[in-house]
Structure 1
Amino acid sequence: MADEKPTSWWATLPGLLTAAAAVITAVTGLLLGLGQLGVFDGGRPAATAGSSPAAGASQPGVQPQPSGTMTGAGESAGWTVALPAERKYRSADVEYEILGARVRPDVAGKVALTFTVRCTNHGRYDVNFWDSTFRLNAGGINHSPDSGLNDLVAGDASKSGDVRFTVPADTRDALLRIKFAQGEATAQLSISPP
C-alpha cells in the first residue's frame, strides 16, 4: 500500500471540469475584448457619418449625431449647465448621448457636475459602459469621474447612467471628453452659478 502513487488531478472529474471552465472563461474574455476593438466588424467603416462634421468631433472616426429636440441647459439648486447642440457621439458600433447635466454644491470649494448619458450598442457583443470612458477638462486639468459607473450594455441595446465629476466651484467652462477605441469626441459646456 505504501507503493501506491496518488493520481494526478487531471485524471479526476473535478480536475477536468475546472480545466474546462478555465479555458471557456479565457476564450470568452478574448472574444469580448476583440469584439470591442472591432475585429469582427468585417470591413465596415469605423464611424458613421453624421449630418455634417461639428465641433464635437475632435478626431477622425468619431462623429457627432443630430441631437433631436432636447433643450440646452440642465439646472440644479440655481446652477445651470449649458450643453452643446450636438449631443450624440458615435464611433463604430458604440454611441453615447448626453441626455442632461446638473450641478450641485459639494464639499467646500467644490461642485458635483453630473451628466446623464445613454450608451447605445449597435453591435452584437457586449460593451463596457463605465467611468473610464469619460474625462472632464476644467481649467486645463483632466478630472476622472467619481460616480462608480461600471456596467455592460448588451448587443443591440441601450442603457442610461450618471457620470459624476467633482470640480472646483469656480469652474465656468469645461470640456467633456468621450474616449472611443477609434478616437475621442469632445463636448464643450459652460457652468453658471446661482
Structure 2
Amino acid sequence: MAEEKPTSWWATLPGLLTAAAAVITAVTGLLLGLGQLGMFDAGKPAASTAGSSAAGASAQPDGTVPPSGAGSGAANSPEWAVALPAERRYRAADVEYEILGARARPDVSGKIAVTFTLRCTNHGRYDINFWDSTFRLNASGVSHSPDSGLNELVAGDASKSGDVRFTIPADTRDAVLRIKFAEGEGTVQIAISPP
C-alpha cells in the first residue's frame, strides 16, 4: 500500500483562517499606526482651541456689549461692539428666548463672525428643540443662516443656554436677528461697530 502524503497546513481550513486573521491584524495595525501619525488628516481642518466666555458680559447703559480687548479670533483681533435693544426677552406660547450677550469679531475669511449667547426657556410640558434653525440674521438685504451647529433639546419646565454664530460681510453695521416661532416671528435690531 502506498503511504499517504501529509497535507500542508496551507491546504486545511484552519490553516487558511489563521493566515487570513494574521493578514487582517497586520493591515489593521498598519492603518492604526499611520492614523496616529496623522497620515489621514491632510484634508481636515485643525480643531479650534479658542474659547468663548462672553455669556455673562454686562451691557453698557446704551445697550452695547463692550469689547473684551485682546482675545481669540483672527490674528487676535479685538472684538467689535454689538449694540442690543433694552428688551432682550422674546416669547411666543410656551417658548421664550433671552439674549444674554452678543459679540462680533473679524473672521479669517475677511468677514465677521457675530455670535449671540441665548437662553431658551421651555414653559411647556414637552421637550423642544433649541437649534440653529430657529434663527436668521438679515444683513444688507440677505438672510443668513447660522453656522454654529447648535442642536439641543430643552426639557419641559427647564432652560438651556447656547451660542448661535453667523458669518456675515465685514462691512455690515446694522442687522436684524430673526427668531422664528411656531406662531410668528420676533425681530431684534442690532448695530455692529468696529473697535
TM-score band w.r.t. shorter chain: 0.5 to 0.7
Partner of 1:142: 143
TM superposition score normalised by structure 1: 0.63
- Which AA in structure 1 matches 2:138? N
Note if contact 2:79-2:103 (Cα within 8 Å) is conserved in structure 1.
no
1:102 and 1:79 mapped to 2: Cα distance?
A: 7
Q: Which residue of 1 aligns with 2:81?
A: 80
Deviation, 1:78, is 4.2
Q: 1:91 to 1:98 in 2, by over 3 A?
A: same
Q: CA–CA distance in 2 between the matches of 1:154 and 1:78?
A: 34
Inter-partner Cα distance in structure 2 for 1:190 and 1:141: 16
- Letter paired with 2:64: A
Which amino acid in 1 is paired with 2:156? Answer: G
Match of 2:122 in 1: 121
> Once the two structures are superposed, what CA deviation does each residue of 1:108-145 show, in whole Å capped at 9, x if it has no partner?
32010000000000000000000000000000000000
Runs of 5+ unmatched residues, structure 1: 1-68
Q: For the aligned residues, what is the CA RMSD?
A: 1.3
TM-score between the two structures when normalised by the length of structure 2: 0.62
- In the alignment, the residues of structure 2 paired with residue 108 and residue 148 of structure 1 have an alpha-carbon distance, to the nearest angstrom, of 19
Equivalent residue for 1:186? 187
Asked if structure 2 preserves the Cα contact closer than 8 Å seen for 1:73 and 1:100, the reply is: no
Structure 1 residues 122 and 97, CA gap change in structure 2 (3 angstroms)? same
Q: Of Structure 1 and Structure 2, which has the larger fraction of its residues in strand?
A: 1
Task: Measure the CA separation in 2 of the matches of 1:180 and 1:85.
Answer: 21
Structure 2, unaligned stretches of length 5 or more? 1-57, 69-77
Distance in 2 between the 1:124 and 1:70 partners?
A: 33
Distance 1:78 1:151, change over 3 A: closer
Question: For the residues of structure 1 that align with 2:130 and 2:64, how far apart are their CA atoms?
Answer: 24
User: Match of 1:105?
Assistant: 106
Distance 1:99 1:107 in 2: 25
Letter in 2 for 1:157: A
Q: What CA distance in whole angstroms lies between the structure 1 residues aligned with 2:79 and 2:106?
A: 10
Q: 1:154 Cα deviation (Å)?
A: 0.1
One-letter amino acid of the structure 2 residue matched with residue 160 of structure 1 = S
Moved more, 99-108 or 70-79: 70-79
Q: What corresponds to 1:169 in structure 2?
A: 170
Distance 1:179 1:143 in 2: 13
Instruction: State the match for 1:130 in structure 2.
Output: 131
Task: Please say if residues 136 and 174 of structure 1, whose CA atoms lie closer than 8 Å, have aligned partners that are also in contact.
Answer: yes
Amino acid in structure 2 at the alignment position of 1:73: T
* 1:104 shift after superposition: 1.0
User: Which letter maps to 2:145?
Assistant: S
Q: More displaced, 177-186 or 100-109? A: 100-109
Greater Cα radius of gyration, structure 1 or 2: 2
